[in-house]
Amino acid sequence: MLADDVKDSIQTAYRQLLESRELTPRYGQRLMIAEIAKTLSTLADDGAAPPICVVEAGTGTGKTLAYVLSVMPLAKALDYKVVIATATVALQEQVVQKDLPEILEGSDLSFSYSLAKGRGRYLCLAKLDMLLRGNDSMQAMMDLYGEDLDDPSDGDHALYEKMLEELSAGNWKGDRDDWKSALSEEDWKPVTVDNAQCMGPKCSHFRNCCFYQARDSMDKADCIVSNHDLVLSDLALGGGVILPEPAKCIYIFDEAHHLPLKSNNHFSAFTRIKASNTWLERAETLSLRLQKDDFLDATAQQSLQKLIANTREQLDHAWLLLEQILESLDQADSYDSRIQHAFELGVVPMEIQSLAATLANLYARIASAFQDISDDLKDAMEDGADVKRRQLAEQWYPLIGSQLKRAEANLGLWLSYATSDPDDKAPYARWLSYNINESFTDIGLSSSPVLAADNLQQRLWENCAAAVLTSATLSALGNFDMLKMRAGLPEHTHYLSILSPFDFAGSASLVVPKMNCDPSDSERHTQLIVKALPEMVDKSGASLMLFSSRRQMQDVMQLLPAQWRELILCQDDFQKSQLLKFHRQRIDKGEGSIIFGLSSFAEGVDLPGKYCTHVLIAKIPFAVPNDPIEMTLSEWIEQKGLNSFMTLAVPDAAFRLVQASGRLLRSESDRGKITLFDERIVNRRYGKTILDSMPPYRREIFQNEIESFPVEESGV
C-alpha cells in the first residue's frame, strides 16, 4: 500500500507542474503515474519480489514527467536510489539538462541528480601526464606495443596542453562531452582508459581523477541518469561496481525496447585466429621486457613464454580445422560484408568443442599470469615505494590491463565453444566469419545469447529493488509476448499500454498503392518505387524514405531522374546529425528535401511539423534473414514445435513498422501521410494481422496503381 504522504507528494507535484507550465492534464500521463506508483507500492512489503512495471506510452503521453513523479517520492521515502537509463548519451543529456530541471523548478519536489558515464567519457590524468611528460621507457613500450599504447604523435600535442590548462583553471572537468569542440576518436583515445587499464586508488592522480570525482557526486545523488550500456556494464561486473548496488536501486529504462539487444551484445564474445596469434607473439616479447624491468622473474617469464607458444600452436590447429569446415560448405551466407557459417542450434562439431576446451584452459592460465603481474604492479604503486619503480609500474599497468582483458575475452569465447547448452534453455548462437581483402585474411569466431532472458533475470530482475520499463513502442501485434520472451520478464510483471493522445485518423493517412509486385522480386519492386516517387512525393515538401536494404536504397537513388536526386540526402553520404541539420536548413529556406535512410532512421528521428510530412516505407521491415542470432533463435523456436515466422518474424516486423510510421506524427498538430510500397500488408493473412496492429490511420488502399503512372526520364 502506498503511504498517504507519498501519495500526497505525487498528486501535489503533478498539480504544481501543470499550473506552473500552464499544461492541461493528460489522461494517459495520469494513468501512467498511477500504474507505476501502484506497482511499486509493494516495495514496502517484506519478502515481496522486486516489482516490475512495463508501460507502453504512445508519443505525446509525457512519459519522462510521469515516471519521475511516480518514482522519486517513493524512492526518497524508502531510501532507494533511482537510476534512469536511456538508450543513448544524447537522451541522457536531455533528461539532465531539460527534463529534471523543469520538474524541480515547477514543483515542491526536492531531490539531487547526477549524470553517470563510463570511464571512456572521461580524461585520464595519468595518461595525459605521460603523453605530455614522455620518457624513454614509455617510448620503448610504445615502439614495442603500438596497438595498445597510443603514440602521442597520433594526437594533437597542442590540444593536450590546452586540456591541461583548462583542467588547472577549473574550466573543465575532463568530460569529453563538455569540451568546447568535438573531439575525434584519434585525439581522445590516447587520453582515456577502460576499467581494465584504470589503476583506481593506486594511481598517483587518484585524488584529482576526473572519473572518480564524477562518481563521488553520483554516490551522493538521489537520482542517477545513466544509459543502458553503463547499467549492463555494471551488471556484467557483478553490480555495484560503477553504479550503486542493484538491491538499492529502482531502475527506470526509457526506450526499453533496446534493452534485450544491448544485453545480448554485452554478454557476447568474439575472437579472430590470426589477430590473436599476432597479439600472442607480441605478448612473448612483452614478457621479456617485463623481466628486464624486474616485474617478472626468469622462471615466471619462461613459464609464460611456453604457455603462449602452446596457445599459438593450438591456434594454428584451429585455423586449419576451421578453414576445412568453411571450404567444405556447399554454400555460405554473407552477412555484414563477410562470408559466414552459423552452426545449427549453436552446436559445434566435437573436434572444435574438444579444441576449444584446450584453448580455454590455456587462456585461463594466460589470464591468471597477467593477473599476477597486474597485482605485482599494484604493489609497486603503493605509497612509500621507490619513486622510479612506482612511475614505471604506472606506465606498465594500463598495458598489462589490456593484455588481461584480451586474454579474458578469448577465454570467454573458447569456453562458450567448449560448452554444451542446457536442453531446457535457449541456446547460444555460435558462428564463423571469414574476412578476406587485399591486405587481410582472418577467421572470426562469435558467440552470443539468442535471448537476453537468463542474463537479465539473474543479474537484474531478481536483484534490483524495482524496475520500470517504458517506451512509445514495446508491444507487438497488441501484446507484450515478444518483450517478455526476449527480456525474460518475471510472471508478476505488470503491463500497461497507453494510447497516444494523437488523432491518428484525422492527422494522417496510410497509403498502400497497387503494385502488382511482391518485394521478393527486388528488381521490379525497385523499378516501381522509382516510377512512383515523382508522382507521389511533393517535390517542395519534407519526406523521409525508409529502406530495409542498402542495395535497394542506392539503386533507387541512382535510377531516379537527376532533378529528383538533387533533393535526396542519403544516409551513406552524411553523419546522421549532419544530415538532419541539412534537411532542416533546406526546409527552413522553403526548399524541398527527401531523406533516404535505413533502419537507424526508423526510430529516434524527431522531425516535427513541416520537417516531415510524408514517410515512405519500401517494404514491411522484416529482420535480416541471415543474422546468425535470429537464425539460431528461429531454429530453437521450430524445435519447440512453433512456427518461427509467426512467432518471431511477424511480431518483430509489426513492431518495426509501427516505429517507422511513428516518424510522421511527433506532436498533436502534425499532419501528413505514410506510404508503404508492399501489398503483402493487405493480401497476406499475416499482413492483415500487422495492419490491424498499427495506429488507426485513415487508410487509402490501392487507390493508386503505380503501373499507370508516367515514366520520367532518368536524366543519366
Helices (H), 537-627: 550-559, 562-565, 576-588
Residue with the bigger pLDDT between 472 and 133: it is 472
**Spatial distance between the Cα atoms of 234 and 251, rounded to a whole number of angstroms:** 13
Residue with the bigger pLDDT between 4 and 322: it is 322
Asked whether residue 167 is domain-assigned, the answer is yes
Among 412, 430, 449, give the residue marking a domain's end.
449
Look at residue 444 and give its three-state secondary structure: strand
- Predicted local confidence at residue 277, as pLDDT: 95
Q: Based on the domain organization, do 306 and 427 belong to the same domain?
A: yes
Helix 27-40 to helix 63-78 angle (10° resolution) is 30
Poorest-pLDDT segment among 143-147, 198-202, 449-453, 622-626: 143-147
CA-wise closest residue to 392 among 136, 108, 153, 669: 136
Asked whether residue 330 is domain-assigned, the answer is yes
What single string gives the DSSP state of each residue in 607-665? --GGG-SEEEESS--PPPTT-HHHHHHHHHHHHTT--HIIIIIHHHHHHHHHHHHTTS-
Q: Based on the domain organization, do 296 and 438 belong to the same domain?
A: yes
Amino acid at 465: A
Give yes or no for a contact between 653 and 690, defined as CB atoms under 8 angstroms apart: yes
Sheet containing 698-705: give its strands across. Answer: 568-570, 593-597, 542-546, 614-617, 672-676, 508-514, 698-705
| Cβ contacts of 302 within 8 Å, gap of 6 or more | none
pLDDT in tens, 137-166: 555 555 554 444 444 444 578 899 999 999
- Kindly list the distances between the CA atom of residue 326 and the CA atoms of 330, 333, 435, 601, 624, in Å, as whole numbers in the listed order: 9, 11, 12, 35, 22
Residue with the bigger pLDDT between 135 and 45: it is 45
Q: Which three cell numbers stand for residue 206?
A: 587518484
Report phi then psi at 695, rounded to 5.
-55, 155
Give yes or no for a contact between 73 and 13, defined as CB atoms under 8 angstroms apart: yes
- Kindly list the distances between the CA atom of residue 434 and the CA atoms of 257, 379, 415, in Å, as whole numbers in the listed order: 31, 43, 21
pLDDT in tens, 166-210: 999 999 999 998 899 889 888 998 899 888 888 888 888 889 999
CA-wise closest residue to 347 among 259, 421, 290: 421
- Predicted local confidence at residue 273, as pLDDT: 96
Helix 387-418 to helix 136-144 angle (10° resolution) is 20
Mean pLDDT of the chain: 91
Asked whether residue 716 is domain-assigned, the answer is no
CA atoms within 13 A on the CB side of 443: 17
CA-wise closest residue to 491 among 476, 507, 480, 499: 480
Q: Report whether pLDDT(716) > 50.
A: no
CA-wise closest residue to 460 among 493, 427, 428: 493
Q: Based on the domain organization, do 396 and 533 belong to the same domain?
A: no
pLDDT in tens, 531-578: 999 999 999 999 999 999 999 999 999 999 999 999 999 999 999 989
Residue with the bigger pLDDT between 192 and 89: it is 192
- Predicted local confidence at residue 687, as pLDDT: 96
Q: Phi/psi zone of residue 207: left (φ > 0), alpha (ψ -120 to 50 degrees), beta?
A: alpha
Look at residue 432 and give its three-state secondary structure: strand
**Spatial distance between the Cα atoms of 153 and 690, rounded to a whole number of angstroms:** 55
pLDDT in tens, 681-695: 999 999 999 999 999
**Spatial distance between the Cα atoms of 209 and 196, rounded to a whole number of angstroms:** 16
- Kindly list the distances between the CA atom of residue 222 and the CA atoms of 77, 82, 102, 357, 661, in Å, as whole numbers in the listed order: 11, 6, 17, 46, 37
Supply the CATH number for residue 457's domain. 3.40.50.300
pTM for the model stands at 0.90
**Spatial distance between the Cα atoms of 680 and 130, rounded to a whole number of angstroms:** 62
Q: What is the DSSP letter of 22?
A: T
**Spatial distance between the Cα atoms of 331 and 333, rounded to a whole number of angstroms:** 7
Give yes or no for a contact between 176 and 122, defined as CB atoms under 8 angstroms apart: yes
- Predicted local confidence at residue 3, as pLDDT: 81
Q: Based on the domain organization, do 427 and 299 belong to the same domain?
A: yes
- Predicted local confidence at residue 148, as pLDDT: 47
Element (H, E) at 125: helix 125-133
- Predicted local confidence at residue 715, as pLDDT: 47
Burial class (CB in 10 A: 0-12, 13-18, 19+), 7: middle
- Predicted local confidence at residue 93, as pLDDT: 86
**R_g of the chain computed on alpha carbons:** 28
Give yes or no for a contact between 432 and 444, defined as CB atoms under 8 angstroms apart: yes
- Predicted confidence band of residue 127 (pLDDT cuts 50, 70, 90): confident
Domains in the chain: how many in total?
4
pLDDT in tens, 386-413: 888 888 888 899 899 999 999 999 999 9
Q: What share of the chain is helix, strand, coil (3-state, %, to 5)?
A: 55, 15, 30
CA-wise closest residue to 466 among 257, 251, 259: 251
Asked whether residue 86 is domain-assigned, the answer is yes
Q: Based on the domain organization, do 520 and 596 belong to the same domain?
A: yes
Asked whether residue 713 is domain-assigned, the answer is no
CB atoms within 10 A of CB 345: 19
- Predicted confidence band of residue 331 (pLDDT cuts 50, 70, 90): low
Sheet containing 428-436: give its strands across. Answer: 269-272, 441-449, 428-436, 338-342, 333-335
- Predicted local confidence at residue 388, as pLDDT: 85
- Kindly list the distances between the CA atom of residue 314 and the CA atoms of 12, 198, 434, in Å, as whole numbers in the listed order: 68, 32, 19
- Predicted confidence band of residue 217 (pLDDT cuts 50, 70, 90): confident
Asked whether residue 176 is domain-assigned, the answer is yes
Q: Based on the domain organization, do 614 and 566 belong to the same domain?
A: yes
| Cβ contacts of 382 within 8 Å, gap of 6 or more | 202, 390
Amino acid at 545: M
Poorest-pLDDT segment among 72-81, 102-111, 156-165: 156-165
Q: Give the mean pLDDT of 340-347.
A: 94
Length of the chain: 716
Q: What is the DSSP letter of 491?
A: T
**Spatial distance between the Cα atoms of 85 and 93, rounded to a whole number of angstroms:** 11
Q: Based on the domain organization, do 536 and 550 belong to the same domain?
A: yes
| Cβ contacts of 263 within 8 Å, gap of 6 or more | 232, 449, 452, 455, 456, 487
CA atoms within 13 A on the CB side of 95: 30
Percent of the chain with pLDDT over 90: 74
Name the residue range of residue 611's domain.
504-708
Q: Which three cell numbers stand for residue 462?
A: 531478481
Residue with the bigger pLDDT between 432 and 436: it is 432
**Spatial distance between the Cα atoms of 38 and 53, rounded to a whole number of angstroms:** 9
- Predicted local confidence at residue 133, as pLDDT: 77
Amino acid at 181: S
Q: Based on the domain organization, do 229 and 299 belong to the same domain?
A: no
Helix 387-418 to helix 350-380 angle (10° resolution) is 160
**Spatial distance between the Cα atoms of 233 and 166, rounded to a whole number of angstroms:** 30
pLDDT in tens, 498-524: 999 999 999 999 999 999 999 999 999
Among 449, 483, 516, give the residue marking a domain's end.
449
End-to-end CA distance of the chain: 71
CA atoms within 13 A on the CB side of 5: 6
What single string gives the DSSP state of each residue in 336-401? TTEEEEEPGGGPPPHHHHHHHHHHHHHHHHHHHHHHHHHHHHHHHTSTTS-HHHHHHHHHHHHHHH
Look at residue 473 and give its three-state secondary structure: coil
Asked whether residue 714 is domain-assigned, the answer is no
Q: Based on the domain organization, do 173 and 304 belong to the same domain?
A: no
pLDDT in tens, 349-390: 999 999 999 999 999 999 999 999 999 998 888 866 688 888
Q: Based on the domain organization, do 378 and 476 belong to the same domain?
A: no
Q: Based on the domain organization, do 387 and 494 belong to the same domain?
A: no
Q: Based on the domain organization, do 150 and 173 belong to the same domain?
A: yes
